[in-house]
């Protein structure tokens, strides 16, 4: 590639049985966060060389239940809880975006890092939960609706660094996209910085910012 105009970090797994990536990361932390961190870092030179770039990381309302356990990110020393691991990975998405936005601004880069979440969308993301599969037809939007917040962050006008978009109705489950709030933990500069440092070490990818 000669340039990259848009990067959407949207790979994801949700509440699988306990498992690890081949690198030894808890699967959800590895796929949902570390993989995106590494991909963004590896594409950074192309992103910085292109005008008007956006980087959008896809999080979830589940981030509100998340807490960073920096001493045991991979559930090696505690009983694995799929929901807690998922929430931690989705909180990581927002902390990564916040720190990336700060670093890009400090470097004077013409790149906007933002986040989005799809609300409740009918996809196979929930394949590991029978309950979610049964409830999908009742509460979930069609994928075209769930994609709108990400498209808003990626292509809409007036998007600022570290903006966060999600559905506008019924606890951010459905509706047209709008800017939405985040948990207090997702606003922690200290946690964002610490996660960044750990992610550089664990992924082996350093950002030249």
| Beta-carbon contacts of residue 131 (< 8 Å; ≥ 6 apart) | none
Catalytic annotation, pick one of 29, 86, 96, 164: 86
Task: Assess contact for 7 and 40: CB atoms under 8 A.
Answer: yes
Q: What is the pLDDT of residue 134?
A: 65
pLDDT of the residue at 138: 67
Give burial (CB, 10 Å; 0-12/13-18/19+) of 179.
Answer: middle
H or E segment at 46? Answer: helix 44-48
Mean pLDDT in order along the chain per 10 residues (209 residues):
94 95 98 99 97 98 98 98 98 99 98 96 71 69 92 98 96 94 99 99 96
Q: pLDDT at position 63, please?
A: 98
**Domains with residue ranges and CATH for the chain:** 6-203 (3.40.50.720)
Distance of CA 194 to the CA centre of its chain: 16
pLDDT at residue 125, as a whole number: 67
Q: Is 86 a catalytic residue?
A: yes
Compute the radius of gyration of the chain from its Cα atoms: 16
Dist CA 119 CA 165 (whole Å): 10
Beta strands 6-9 and 53-58: pairing type? parallel
Q: Return the pLDDT at 170.
A: 87
Burial class (CB in 10 A: 0-12, 13-18, 19+), 167: buried
| Six-digit token string for 31 | 């796929």
pLDDT reported for residue 41: 98
């Amino acid at each position: 590639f000669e340039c990259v105009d848009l990067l959407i970090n949207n790979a994801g797994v949700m509440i699988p049985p306990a498992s690890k990536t081949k690198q030894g990361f808890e699967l959800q932390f590895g796929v949902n966060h570390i993989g995106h961190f590494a991909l963004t870092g590896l594409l950074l030179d192309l992103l910085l060389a292109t005008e008007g770039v956006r980087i959008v990381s896809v999080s979830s309302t589940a981030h509100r239940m998340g807490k960073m356990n920096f001493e045991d990110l991979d559930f090696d020393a505690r009983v694995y809880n799929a929901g807690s691991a998922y929430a931690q990975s989705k909180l990581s998405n927002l902390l990564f975006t916040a720190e990336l936005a700060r670093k890009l601004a400090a470097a004077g880069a013409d790149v906007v890092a933002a986040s989005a979440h799809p609300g409740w969308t009918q996809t196979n993301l929930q394949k590991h939960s029978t309950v979610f599969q049964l409830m999908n037809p009742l509460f979930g939007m069609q994928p075209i609706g769930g994609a709108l917040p990400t498209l808003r962050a990626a292509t809409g006008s007036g998007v600022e660094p570290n903006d966060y978009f999600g559905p506008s109705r019924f606890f951010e489950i459905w509706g047209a996209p709008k800017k939405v709030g985040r948990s207090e933990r997702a606003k922690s500069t200290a946690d964002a910085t610490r996660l960044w440092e750990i992610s550089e070490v664990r992924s082996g990818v350093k950002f030249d910012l």
